[in-house]
Amino acid sequence: MPPAIVVKDLKKRYGKSVLAVDGVSFDIEEGEVFGLLGPNGAGKTTIVKVLTTLLSITDGKVSILGNERPKRDYEIRNCIGYVPQDVSSDSALTGYENLIISAKLYGKNGREAKAVSEDVLKQLGLWDAKDRIVKTYSGGMIRKLEVGQAMVHDPKILFLDEPSIGLDPVARKQVWESIKELKERTKLTVVLTTHYMEEADHLCDRIAIMSIGKIATVGTPAALKASVGMGSIVLEVKGTPPEIPGARMENGSIVIPAAEPSKELPKMVQLLTAAGCEVLSAKARETTLEDAFVKYAGTKIEEMDQWSAVRKTRRTAGRLA
């Protein structure tokens, strides 16, 4: 089966100076959840806007389900759904009305639009709120409604730009569950951008780590973590510990490399106790996606945010709160 999305040497320049995407290539297979992970301003949103036909291409090739941009933009639009980072539901309308308008935009007549809107409302658990103005919705409800609006025409690919930005942890989990449930039910291909490690780890089959307009690496969360190396066990000990291969001292603690830190921790504690040491504290440190990010992007994600992008993100967060 050919890939759902093929991107080759994509470049996108805004105006004359800003090169937002600088020669990016990747394939996305049908049915997978593909994540673009990077700090604000890394070019994730720009890539999504290029893939959804909203932005023109400066250089390179983009093909969606065999349709090349920009020649077949119209065909592409017919088979994709898109939830922008900004709040895209009309806040002056009810949830039900938003769905009706979306359905009609995709060619459904009045009766079909009504049927599909009611289905979506029930599936997303928004039925009781359907006649309320969207302004009165919580952030999580709005995001769910937006996903629903993007799905009225049964698209083959769903694009989600920062789906859980500005949401509280509970609402974030709910949105994740909605996306997972949707994917399982429809065999949908999902492309999402995020700067939350946990979100990428939890939702994505494969992740592209982005930094300043480039993709540093692509891989499954497990492979990315494994490529960083082993996790470790950190112990605070009173007494003289026995010789342990690979162990080193760090700030007064013993750090022992381990492939599966949580599983090996009890054994290690036993070993030390048997050797006559008193174990004061013990911690298993698993490799995280964050470690992989630091390895490939060179810095921590929070240290790379660009001011303009942060401002935009905060604004969206403010509107969803």
Q: Can you give the binding site for another protein, defined by CB under 8 A? A: 14, 49, 52-56, 74, 77-78, 80, 82, 84-88, 90-93, 97, 101-102, 104-107, 133, 149, 319
3-state secondary structure 174-239: HHHHHHHHHHHHHCCEEEEEECCHHHHHHHCCEEEEEECCEEEEEECHHHHHHHHCCEEEEEEEEC
Smallest gap from residue 138 Cβ to another protein (A): 17
Give the residue with the Cβ less far from another protein, 91 or 217. 91
> Residue 181's beta-bridge partner residues?
none
* Residue 41 near residue 213, CB atoms below 8 Å: no
Give the residue with the Cβ less far from another protein, 188 or 233. 188
* Residue 48 near residue 161, CB atoms below 8 Å: yes
Give the residue with the Cβ less far from another protein, 237 or 320. 320
| Alpha carbons 230 and 291: distance in angstroms, whole number | 11
Length of the chain, please?
321
Smallest gap from residue 273 Cβ to another protein (A): 58
84-99: string of b/e by CB count within 10 Å (b at 16+)?
bbebbbbeeebbbbbb
Give the residue with the Cβ less far from another protein, 142 or 218. 142
Give the residue with the Cβ less far from another protein, 88 or 288. 88
Strand order in the sheet with 214-219: 80-83, 157-161, 189-194, 33-37, 206-211, 214-219
Give the residue with the Cβ less far from another protein, 79 or 247. 79
Smallest gap from residue 101 Cβ to another protein (A): 5
Smallest gap from residue 86 Cβ to another protein (A): 4
Strand order in the sheet with 59-64: 18-28, 5-14, 59-64, 67-68
Smallest gap from residue 34 Cβ to another protein (A): 18
Smallest gap from residue 134 Cβ to another protein (A): 10
Give the residue with the Cβ less far from another protein, 175 or 277. 175
Closest CA to 74 of 64, 86, 82: 64
Distances (CA, A) of 245 to 35, 197, 263, 281, 287: 38, 32, 18, 20, 20
| Alpha carbons 162 and 194: distance in angstroms, whole number | 5
Smallest gap from residue 259 Cβ to another protein (A): 44
Smallest gap from residue 106 Cβ to another protein (A): 6
Give the residue with the Cβ less far from another protein, 13 or 173. 13
